[in-house]
Structure 1
Amino acid sequence: MDHYDIVIIGAGLAGSLAAIALAREGHRVALVGPRPAIADGRTTALMDQSIDYLKKLGLWDEVAPLTAPLVAIHIIDGTKRLLRAPPVNFRAPEVGLEAFGYNIPNAPFLEILEKHEASLPTLDRIPVAATTFDFGELEARVGLGDGRVISADLVVGADGRRSAVREAAEIETFTWSYPQTAVVLNFAHELPHQEVSTEFHTESGPFTQVPLPGNRSSLVWVQKPRDAEETLRLAPEVLSRTIEDRMQSILGKVVAEGIPQSFPLSGHTARRFGKGRVMLVGEAAHAFPPIGAQGLNLSLRDVMTVVELVGPPAGGRLPADTGDRFDGRRRIDIVSRTASVDLLNRSLLSSFLPVQALRAVGLQLLSSAGPLRGLLMREGIHPGSALQSIKESLREQISRKRA
């Protein structure tokens, strides 16, 4: 029976990045999971902190040609409600950055990760499903779909919303659903996007255009489920014109590409993010609507924490309480991000006038108050930086008074 330092279940973006990061540290790693049957048509906007991590892993030079920078983010209230918010513009130079991050197509990104996996001598790629788990006192054992059994000091569950690792570890989840479906596709357009992402807030959810290289963009269009079904049935030329109208023709003529995909929206958080020999990352631990480019960025912070906790190989077995320590380290970040995205999404759906008023006032403050907008941008890019900035400001004020 083959023994590994760490077995990672789930070979999507989060699992693949975790495997590469841990193998580069020198650990013997197994990445377990079948390859996707259907190419993922979505894109992922990775923020500045995540891009820095890709550079650290030696991946960025290959990924960069696929990407488009996000220099500015415009939020437009596209509702027809009585209380509407003014447009809000977030610009990277306001916080000293060339770009907030970069938009990356998922399918070719995963292909690059698979190539790097194959080049790492301490990483074994096992393209079958994990079928059984036994978390013992001395090690964890994983049964594979091809009949083999492997063992490990630690197991990382990166196997998505219906995580078998989470279930085997007897970790419960708090789950909720939304009356929404996300339609995703890419489209070409007549006018340049100027590296600007535009998010129209509508009564059914956000309609978000994100730049791709050239005169192309990706779209995440959150709708009511029945409306999403109708959108998927539209003829290509009708779909293209519908997108152009929704975009208020700010990018000129639109041509939809390929076949749109849809994903029902729901959310969940695990009651624990780690337990004993188990750590949960990505959607095995948390999931929420595609608002504010938080999904994979949050998952990458999971991965960073795994790598930091495990550390470089030091001889001997990895500690059996690593999962418990991981849970403590990740709790505040995950819970706060999940709550903020959920609150923003529900504020769009609410027909309750006071809720609409609070949302409009909040966006008005962001539009008019530069320091507040800058604080929010820094927090979105580097979690915890807003609190640190407030602490430093208070220290400066106290020092001045004492002087």
Structure 2
Amino acid sequence: MAERTRTQTSKIPGSADIIIAGAGYVGMATAVALKSSAPHLAVTVIDAAPAGVWRNDTRASAIAAAASRMLDRLGCWEEILPKAQPITEMIVTDSRTSDPVRPVFLTFNGEIEPGEPFAHMVENRVLNASLRAKAEEIGITFIEGAPVHGFHNEDEHLTVRYGDDKELRARLLLAADGVKSRLRDMAGIKTVNWEYDQSGIVCTVAHERPHHGRAEEHFLPAGPFAILPLSGNRSSLVWTERTADAERLIKEDDFVFEAELEQRFGLKLGELRVEGPRKAFPLGLTLARDFVKPRFALVGDAAHGIHPIAGQGLNLGFKDAAAIAETIVDADRLGLDIGSVAVLERYQSWRRFDTVQMGVTTDVLNRLFSNDNVPVRALRDFGLGLVERMPRLKGFFIRQAAGLSTTAPKLLQGQSI
């Protein structure tokens, strides 16, 4: 059993109970979940990015039903919902870019419960603004524009060095600093990692006709081309291409880029126009071999980076946020040392298998669908058609995509910790 905490670190000047390194969506959700559930804990968020840089994020994310339940429980969803776009239907096709007709092999109804979509599309700026407003309201401390340079363990606490050689003591450090986490390296945690020689082109497209909340996933030889509905006559694209082709497309002028886009998007929604910047992100698989060390834990992309083929990356991070918050709050209520390995092991055992399973699943799906091998295409299309004819199996898949499970952390079930 973990030792009981002998020192309340937050009562020492220049200290906090928990430091979270990284003010992205997972880091912010973790901070809000912790502080909302245990207001007496001092939570500090340290971020390397300058203040306000998150407002420049033009991307959007698919928020699964379980994650929206958590955000509702944390008091953020009411502000997000009017600006969110429910996904009312999803279709899956498998074809070549040159094919004149793209037959639909699989369709999903968007509701998991009457009136509750399996996911919403939310612009990242809206999501971050809501989390930050709640964080400020409940008394979370922010230190921005100050990268963490190092940390060292000192038995009952650790000392974090950040910014211009400043130091802060804490009982626990949570690394939410992304897939190329420097803190993960500092902690000596190894990863399983490989690249796909693919990049995901992300942009927002305006179109003439309404999408009616329908999401589409077109499996093309270079990789999946996902069309995700946004509020108004707009859609968010996650367009996978071989890295060399993606880099070329990003550099093309608007006319050439939109012509290539039209080939894949089609004209069913009328004339297309790219809104805002277009960016390409290299795709790969990264899985941390360990999620925890003494007084240290990984959350979000610092623990796992997966292919976007299933749209589960951010939702895996929200599962981490809910699980680490429940682990810490339960231990704190029992008077246990929240930074001990004995306490943190519960979080690791809770999340590591699910993460590895999702990483392997997305890896297999990407390898299966991102090719033009005729026998493989015939096999996968047969499989899609089989699932289409089995309503119960489709129902299982949609609930999995929604993140709903009886073993999920309480916040993901819409319950308080």
| Aligned pair partner of 2:196 in 164, 178, 181 | 178
Q: Give the corresponding residue for 1:134.
A: 152
Pair 1:326 & 2:347 matched: yes
8 Å CA contact 2:18–2:170 kept in 1: the answer is yes
Residue 368 of structure 2 corresponds to which residue in structure 1?
347
Measured in 2, the distance between the counterparts of 1:79 and 1:342 equals 21
Q: C-alpha distance in 1, partners of 2:165/2:132?
A: 24
Q: Which residue of 1 aligns with 2:5?
A: none
Show the counterpart of 2:186. Answer: 168
* Range that drifts further, 366-375 or 235-244: 235-244
CA contact (8 A) 1:378 1:385 kept: no
Which residue, 71, 81, 98 being the options, matches 1:64? 81
Who is 1:338 aligned against? 359
**1:23 maps onto 2:44 in alignment:** no
**Is the Cα contact below 8 Å between 1:206 and 1:222 reproduced in 2?**
yes
Distance 1:383 1:339, change over 3 A: farther
Aligned residue number for residue 390 of structure 1: none
Which residue of 180, 190, 194 maps to 2:208? 190
Q: Deviations over 1:93-140 (max 9, x none)?
A: 47655311111111332233223222222x110111111111232112
Question: What's the offset of the Cα at 1:293?
Answer: 1.7
Say whether residues 1:272 and 2:286 are aligned partners.
no
Q: Is residue 2:88 matched to residue 1:76? A: no
**Which region of structure 1 is more displaced relative to structure 2, 111-120 or 175-184?**
111-120
Greater CA drift, 104-113 or 377-386: 377-386
Is structure 2 residue 401 aligned with structure 1 residue 380? yes
Q: In structure 1, list runs of 5 or more residues that go unmatched.
A: 387-403
Query: What is aligned with 2:59?
Result: 42
Q: How many correspondences in the alignment?
A: 385
| Superimposed CA distance per residue, residues 340-384 of structure 1 (whole angstroms, 9 cap, x where no aligned partner) | 111111112345555434322221211222221111112221355
| Structure 2 counterpart of 1:253 | 271
Query: CA 1:272–1:354 in structure 2 vs 1: closer, same or farther (change >3 Å)?
Result: farther
Distance 1:126 1:160 in 2: 17
- Asked if 1 retains the 8 angstrom alpha-carbon contact of 2:327 and 2:344, the reply is no
TM-score w.r.t. the length of structure 1 is 0.89
CA distance in 2, matches of 1:383, 1:343: 22
What's 1:392 paired with? none
Q: Tell which has more relative contact order, 1 or 2 (C-alpha 8 A, sep 6+).
A: 2
Give 1:316 shift.
Answer: 7.0
2:369 alignment partner, SS class: helix
**RMSD across aligned positions (CA):** 2.4
1:7 to 2:19 alignment: yes
Contact in 2 for aligned 1:9/1:155 (Cα 8 Å) = yes
Structure 2 unmatched runs, 5+? 1-12, 408-417
Relative distance call for 1:96 and 1:65 in structure 2 (3 A) is closer
Note if contact 1:188-1:256 (Cα within 8 Å) is conserved in structure 2: yes
Which residue identity lines up with residue 54 of structure 1 in the other structure?
L
- TM-score normalized with structure 2 length: 0.86
| Greater shift in the superposed pair: 305-314 or 183-192 | 305-314
Deviation for aligned residue 1:244: 2.8
Alignment-derived partner of residue 228 in structure 2: 210
Cα distance in 2 for partners of 1:67, 1:318 equals 36
